[in-house]
Amino acid sequence: MIAALHPCAEAYGKVIVLGEHSVVYGKPAVAAGLPNGLVLRARPLPDSAEPCRLRIPAWGLDLSVADVDHPVATAAATVLDHCRGPRTGWAIDGETCLPARAGLGSSATLTVALARLVLGPEAEVAAIEAASLAGERVFHGEPSGLDSAIAARGGVLRFVRGEPVRPIAVRAPIPLVILPSGVARSTAVEVAKVRARKERLPTLLEPILGALAAAAEAGIAAIESNDLGQLGEIMNVSHELVSALGVGHPALDRLVARALEGGALGAKLTGAGGGGCVVALRGPDDALVSALAAEGTPAIPVEIHG
Ligand code: PMV
């Protein structure tokens, strides 16, 4: 048992650019890391026998890792155990600008940063990912591993389940804007919806999953050649395809339409869908973010770098 935690650890948030859901079935996906996803700081509690406390005010979390009824506590305890870290004697405080449970990788930021608090900054990324996945299983059942990979590594990655990740070279920063719908959703529920539709209608769903895989590969080529017009069109097609899996939502369709009216080159739901966020590719005449701010539509501008 490791008695001490490192004082500070970080993880990336994430935006899935292409390939959510199809990635669960072994197809390629493209995800980008969002810097400053979550910073955790650890300090010893006066009583070393007291269960570790986890506080992340931005997500409304203030809990003991011994609280077996709370999924976040259970996931945190799972990660600590996986890394042979302490269950008692530490207060862990988190700071983040990411909304929770919105498809931006909040759970993977937590599990990756917790693993780093125990294993330290020099730990192998594979060890961090494995610990994160143990915690992610508490939240999502059988996650693809995409969120843990990007939360641990950042950058822009091509991810295929069970294969080594490939970093994608980005020639110039890619300007995105994330539009939270405010509609709550659960990754596990949305993943189950797709599985059920695939079981009912396999001959329809298989070609859609194949088209999503083709979209991810074509999107990688567009990113590598810095062809943002092409990338935007691929994102638009992907929104229709992923919605056809059964995880669309009128609020997401409205945000996609709003982004395109405002000059975005492309827009699509990102993450599990059913709510959560839209990601839009900002155009050269980048008036979209200020227009959204002026009308009070929540928007998070980000630039992704390889
Ligand atoms: O938890 P979210 O909303 O970021 O979605 C995860 C992405 C899925 O492809 C839907 C599930 C997975 O395990 O990859």
Those residues with Cβ within 8 angstroms of residue 112's Cβ, 6 or more apart along the chain or in another chain: 11, 12, 128, 129, 132, 148, 151, 152
Q: Which two tokens stand for residue 95?
A: 């700071």
**C-beta of residue 143 within 8 angstroms of C-beta of residue 41:** no
Ligand 1 centroid–CA 270 distance in Å is 9
**C-beta of residue 184 within 8 angstroms of C-beta of residue 164:** no
CA angle 138, 299, 276 (to 5 degrees): 30
CA distances to 35, 178, 183, 185, 279 from 251, rounded to whole Å, are 27, 14, 8, 12, 13
Query: Is 147 noted as a catalytic residue in this protein?
Result: yes
Per the prediction, the chain carries an average pLDDT of 95
Instruction: Verify whether ligand 1 is closer than 6 Å to residue 187 (CB atom).
Output: yes
Helical axes 125-140 vs 71-82, angle rounded to 10°: 150
- pLDDT for 167-199, tens place per residue? 999 999 999 999 999 999 999 999 999 999 999
Instruction: Verify whether ligand 1 is closer than 6 Å to residue 24 (CB atom).
Output: yes
Instruction: Verify whether ligand 1 is closer than 6 Å to residue 273 (CB atom).
Output: no
Those residues with Cβ within 8 angstroms of residue 128's Cβ, 6 or more apart along the chain or in another chain: 112, 115, 116, 119, 152
Please give the pLDDT value at position 36: 82
Distance separating alpha carbons of residues 275 and 289, to the nearest angstrom:
21
Q: Which two tokens stand for residue 283?
A: 């155009």
Residue 294 has pLDDT above 60, yes or no: yes
Distance separating alpha carbons of residues 197 and 204, to the nearest angstrom:
9
Residue 127, SS3 per DSSP = helix
Ligand 1 pocket: which of 144, 187, 245 to mutate (most atoms within 8 A of CB): 187
- pLDDT for 3-29, tens place per residue? 789 999 999 999 999 999 999 999 999
Catalytic choice (81, 147, 227, 285): 147
Q: What is the pTM of this model?
A: 0.93
